[in-house]
Structure 1
Protein backbone atom coordinates (compact mmCIF):
# COMPACT_ATOMS: atom_id res chain seq x y z
CA UNK A 1 0.00 0.00 0.00
CA UNK A 2 2.86 2.33 0.85
CA UNK A 3 4.40 1.83 -2.60
CA UNK A 4 1.13 2.73 -4.33
CA UNK A 5 0.78 5.94 -2.31
CA UNK A 6 4.43 6.78 -2.98
CA UNK A 7 3.92 6.28 -6.72
CA UNK A 8 0.82 8.53 -6.67
CA UNK A 9 2.81 11.08 -4.64
CA UNK A 10 5.60 11.16 -7.22
CA UNK A 11 3.14 11.51 -10.12
CA UNK A 12 1.40 14.35 -8.29
CA UNK A 13 4.76 16.07 -7.77
CA UNK A 14 5.59 15.85 -11.49
CA UNK A 15 2.12 17.05 -12.48
CA UNK A 16 2.33 19.95 -10.03
CA UNK A 17 5.69 20.98 -11.46
CA UNK A 18 4.29 20.85 -14.99
CA UNK A 19 1.18 22.89 -14.15
CA UNK A 20 3.19 25.54 -12.33
CA UNK A 21 5.58 25.85 -15.26
CA UNK A 22 2.65 26.26 -17.69
CA UNK A 23 1.23 29.22 -15.80
CA UNK A 24 1.74 32.69 -17.14
CA UNK A 25 4.19 34.94 -15.36
CA UNK A 26 2.27 37.75 -13.63
CA UNK A 27 5.16 40.00 -12.65
CA UNK A 28 7.40 39.41 -15.62
CA UNK A 29 10.28 38.62 -13.29
CA UNK A 30 12.32 37.13 -16.12
CA UNK A 31 11.04 39.55 -18.73
CA UNK A 32 9.03 36.83 -20.45
CA UNK A 33 5.45 37.71 -19.60
CA UNK A 34 2.87 35.77 -21.57
CA UNK A 35 1.29 37.54 -24.47
CA UNK A 36 -2.41 38.21 -24.81
CA UNK A 37 -4.23 35.57 -26.79
CA UNK A 38 -7.31 35.85 -28.89
CA UNK A 39 -8.65 32.33 -28.88
CA UNK A 40 -11.62 30.45 -27.61
CA UNK A 41 -10.41 30.70 -24.04
CA UNK A 42 -9.40 34.09 -22.75
CA UNK A 43 -6.12 34.41 -20.87
CA UNK A 44 -8.03 35.22 -17.69
CA UNK A 45 -10.18 32.08 -17.97
CA UNK A 46 -7.14 29.90 -18.66
CA UNK A 47 -5.33 31.40 -15.68
CA UNK A 48 -8.20 30.63 -13.33
CA UNK A 49 -8.49 27.07 -14.69
CA UNK A 50 -4.77 26.47 -14.20
CA UNK A 51 -5.05 28.01 -10.74
CA UNK A 52 -7.81 25.57 -9.80
CA UNK A 53 -5.80 22.62 -11.16
CA UNK A 54 -2.77 23.83 -9.20
CA UNK A 55 -4.80 24.07 -6.00
CA UNK A 56 -6.24 20.58 -6.52
CA UNK A 57 -2.85 19.03 -7.18
CA UNK A 58 -1.33 20.86 -4.20
CA UNK A 59 -4.07 19.60 -1.85
CA UNK A 60 -3.66 16.03 -3.15
CA UNK A 61 0.14 16.31 -2.80
CA UNK A 62 -0.17 17.46 0.82
CA UNK A 63 -2.67 14.67 1.55
CA UNK A 64 -0.31 11.99 0.19
CA UNK A 65 2.57 13.55 2.15
CA UNK A 66 0.61 13.32 5.40
CA UNK A 67 -0.51 9.77 4.57
CA UNK A 68 3.08 8.66 3.93
CA UNK A 69 4.16 10.27 7.20
CA UNK A 70 1.47 8.39 9.13
CA UNK A 71 2.42 5.08 7.49
CA UNK A 72 6.11 5.65 8.27
CA UNK A 73 5.27 6.46 11.90
CA UNK A 74 3.27 3.23 12.23
CA UNK A 75 6.09 1.18 10.72
CA UNK A 76 8.58 2.67 13.18
CA UNK A 77 6.73 0.93 16.06
CA UNK A 78 8.33 2.98 18.79
CA UNK A 79 11.91 1.97 18.10
CA UNK A 80 14.54 4.62 17.81
CA UNK A 81 18.03 4.69 16.35
CA UNK A 82 19.49 4.88 19.86
CA UNK A 83 17.62 1.69 20.83
CA UNK A 84 19.02 -0.11 17.81
CA UNK A 85 22.56 0.95 18.69
CA UNK A 86 22.34 -0.12 22.33
CA UNK A 87 20.74 -3.46 21.40
CA UNK A 88 23.51 -4.30 18.94
CA UNK A 89 25.90 -7.05 20.04
CA UNK A 90 29.31 -6.00 21.29
CA UNK A 91 32.10 -6.25 18.71
CA UNK A 92 34.24 -9.35 18.86
CA UNK A 93 37.53 -9.06 20.69
CA UNK A 94 40.54 -8.51 18.45
CA UNK A 95 42.68 -11.61 18.08
CA UNK A 96 45.90 -11.68 20.04
CA UNK A 97 49.00 -12.13 17.92
CA UNK A 98 51.81 -14.33 19.14
CA UNK A 99 54.77 -12.53 20.65
CA UNK A 100 57.54 -12.27 18.06
CA UNK A 101 60.12 -10.77 20.36
CA UNK A 102 61.79 -7.54 19.33
CA UNK A 103 61.40 -8.10 15.60
CA UNK A 104 58.71 -6.24 13.71
CA UNK A 105 58.83 -8.68 10.80
CA UNK A 106 56.79 -11.86 10.70
CA UNK A 107 58.68 -14.96 11.76
CA UNK A 108 59.14 -16.13 8.17
CA UNK A 109 60.91 -12.85 7.22
CA UNK A 110 62.96 -11.93 10.28
CA UNK A 111 66.00 -13.97 9.19
CA UNK A 112 65.85 -16.59 11.89
CA UNK A 113 63.36 -18.79 10.10
CA UNK A 114 63.73 -20.02 6.52
CA UNK A 115 61.61 -18.34 3.85
CA UNK A 116 60.71 -21.67 2.23
CA UNK A 117 59.48 -24.49 4.43
CA UNK A 118 62.05 -27.26 4.65
CA UNK A 119 61.09 -30.70 3.45
CA UNK A 120 61.69 -33.38 6.01
Structure 2
Protein backbone atom coordinates (compact mmCIF):
# COMPACT_ATOMS: atom_id res chain seq x y z
CA UNK A 1 0.00 0.00 0.00
CA UNK A 2 2.83 2.36 0.88
CA UNK A 3 4.52 1.77 -2.47
CA UNK A 4 1.32 2.55 -4.37
CA UNK A 5 0.80 5.83 -2.48
CA UNK A 6 4.47 6.72 -2.92
CA UNK A 7 4.27 6.09 -6.68
CA UNK A 8 1.16 8.26 -6.95
CA UNK A 9 2.89 10.92 -4.85
CA UNK A 10 5.90 11.01 -7.17
CA UNK A 11 3.71 11.18 -10.27
CA UNK A 12 1.73 14.04 -8.72
CA UNK A 13 4.97 15.88 -7.94
CA UNK A 14 6.15 15.58 -11.53
CA UNK A 15 2.75 16.63 -12.88
CA UNK A 16 2.62 19.61 -10.53
CA UNK A 17 6.08 20.73 -11.62
CA UNK A 18 5.08 20.40 -15.27
CA UNK A 19 1.82 22.33 -14.89
CA UNK A 20 3.50 25.16 -12.99
CA UNK A 21 6.21 25.45 -15.64
CA UNK A 22 3.65 25.51 -18.47
CA UNK A 23 1.73 28.42 -16.97
CA UNK A 24 2.26 31.88 -18.35
CA UNK A 25 4.31 34.23 -16.19
CA UNK A 26 2.42 37.35 -15.20
CA UNK A 27 5.57 39.38 -14.58
CA UNK A 28 4.31 40.81 -11.32
CA UNK A 29 6.80 39.22 -8.99
CA UNK A 30 7.85 41.52 -6.11
CA UNK A 31 5.98 44.46 -7.58
CA UNK A 32 8.07 44.57 -10.73
CA UNK A 33 6.33 45.36 -13.99
CA UNK A 34 3.45 47.26 -12.45
CA UNK A 35 3.39 50.20 -14.80
CA UNK A 36 0.84 53.00 -15.06
CA UNK A 37 -1.67 51.07 -17.20
CA UNK A 38 -4.27 48.58 -16.04
CA UNK A 39 -2.71 45.29 -17.07
CA UNK A 40 -3.19 41.93 -15.40
CA UNK A 41 -2.85 43.26 -11.86
CA UNK A 42 -5.67 45.80 -12.10
CA UNK A 43 -8.58 43.48 -11.43
CA UNK A 44 -9.34 40.00 -10.24
CA UNK A 45 -8.80 37.80 -13.27
CA UNK A 46 -10.79 34.62 -13.83
CA UNK A 47 -9.09 31.38 -12.94
CA UNK A 48 -7.73 29.61 -15.97
CA UNK A 49 -7.93 25.90 -16.61
CA UNK A 50 -4.25 25.49 -15.75
CA UNK A 51 -4.82 27.32 -12.49
CA UNK A 52 -7.60 24.91 -11.57
CA UNK A 53 -5.44 21.92 -12.51
CA UNK A 54 -2.65 23.33 -10.35
CA UNK A 55 -4.97 23.58 -7.35
CA UNK A 56 -6.26 20.04 -7.86
CA UNK A 57 -2.74 18.62 -8.16
CA UNK A 58 -1.58 20.58 -5.12
CA UNK A 59 -4.46 19.28 -2.98
CA UNK A 60 -3.81 15.72 -4.16
CA UNK A 61 -0.08 16.13 -3.44
CA UNK A 62 -0.75 17.33 0.11
CA UNK A 63 -3.24 14.48 0.62
CA UNK A 64 -0.73 11.84 -0.44
CA UNK A 65 1.89 13.50 1.78
CA UNK A 66 -0.41 13.15 4.78
CA UNK A 67 -1.28 9.57 3.80
CA UNK A 68 2.42 8.66 3.62
CA UNK A 69 2.97 10.23 7.04
CA UNK A 70 0.11 8.23 8.55
CA UNK A 71 1.33 4.99 6.95
CA UNK A 72 4.86 5.60 8.20
CA UNK A 73 3.57 6.30 11.72
CA UNK A 74 1.61 3.04 11.73
CA UNK A 75 4.61 1.07 10.48
CA UNK A 76 6.87 2.54 13.18
CA UNK A 77 5.08 0.40 15.81
CA UNK A 78 6.14 2.68 18.66
CA UNK A 79 9.83 2.05 18.26
CA UNK A 80 12.37 4.80 18.27
CA UNK A 81 15.68 5.20 16.49
CA UNK A 82 17.29 5.41 19.92
CA UNK A 83 15.79 2.01 20.80
CA UNK A 84 17.48 0.51 17.76
CA UNK A 85 20.82 2.07 18.68
CA UNK A 86 20.81 0.65 22.22
CA UNK A 87 19.92 -2.84 20.95
CA UNK A 88 23.07 -2.94 18.82
CA UNK A 89 25.98 -5.00 20.14
CA UNK A 90 28.86 -3.04 21.67
CA UNK A 91 31.83 -2.37 19.38
CA UNK A 92 34.71 -4.85 19.51
CA UNK A 93 37.80 -3.89 21.48
CA UNK A 94 40.77 -2.69 19.45
CA UNK A 95 43.54 -5.31 19.56
CA UNK A 96 46.26 -3.21 17.98
CA UNK A 97 48.34 -1.27 20.46
CA UNK A 98 49.38 2.27 19.73
CA UNK A 99 53.10 3.13 19.77
CA UNK A 100 54.42 4.76 22.90
CA UNK A 101 55.21 8.44 22.92
CA UNK A 102 58.55 9.18 21.38
CA UNK A 103 58.69 6.11 19.14
CA UNK A 104 59.00 6.57 15.42
CA UNK A 105 55.61 6.89 13.70
CA UNK A 106 56.90 6.55 10.15
CA UNK A 107 56.39 3.26 8.32
CA UNK A 108 59.45 1.02 8.08
CA UNK A 109 61.64 1.49 5.05
CA UNK A 110 62.46 -1.24 2.55
CA UNK A 111 65.83 -1.76 4.23
CA UNK A 112 65.20 -3.65 7.49
CA UNK A 113 68.87 -3.78 8.50
CA UNK A 114 69.19 -0.12 9.52
CA UNK A 115 66.48 1.13 11.90
CA UNK A 116 65.37 4.68 11.53
CA UNK A 117 66.63 6.74 14.43
CA UNK A 118 66.95 10.48 14.65
CA UNK A 119 70.51 11.76 14.74
CA UNK A 120 71.65 14.59 16.93
CA UNK A 121 73.87 17.01 15.03
Deviation at 1:23, TM superposition (A): 0.7
Deviation at 1:6, TM superposition (A): 0.6
Could you tell me which residue of structure 2 aligns to residue 72 of structure 1? 72
Please tell me the root mean square deviation across aligned C-alpha atoms, in Å. Answer: 2.9
TM-score between both structures, scaled by the size of structure 1: 0.61
Higher relative contact order (Cα pairs below 8 Å, separated by 6+ residues): 2
Deviation at 1:69, TM superposition (A): 0.7
Could you tell me which residue of structure 2 aligns to residue 24 of structure 1? 24
Report the Cα distance in structure 2 between the residues aligned to 1:95 and 1:24, rounded to whole angstroms: 67
Could you tell me which residue of structure 1 aligns to residue 90 of structure 2? 90
- Tell me the number of residue pairs that the alignment of Structure 1 and Structure 2 aligns: 91
Deviation at 1:93, TM superposition (A): 3.2
**Structure 1: 5+ residue stretches without partners:** 32-43, 98-103, 105-109, 112-120
Report the Cα distance in structure 2 between the residues aligned to 1:7 and 1:26, rounded to whole angstroms: 32
Q: After the TM superposition, which of the residue ranges 4-13 and 88-97 deviates more from structure 2?
A: 88-97
**Structure 2: 5+ residue stretches without partners:** 34-44, 98-103, 105-111, 114-121
Query: Which consecutive segments of 4 or more residues in structure 1 shift more than 6 A?
Result: none
Deviation at 1:82, TM superposition (A): 1.2
Question: How do 1:1-120 residues align onto structure 2 when only pairs under 5 Å count?
Answer: 1-27=1-27, 48-95=48-95
TM-score between both structures, scaled by the size of structure 2: 0.61
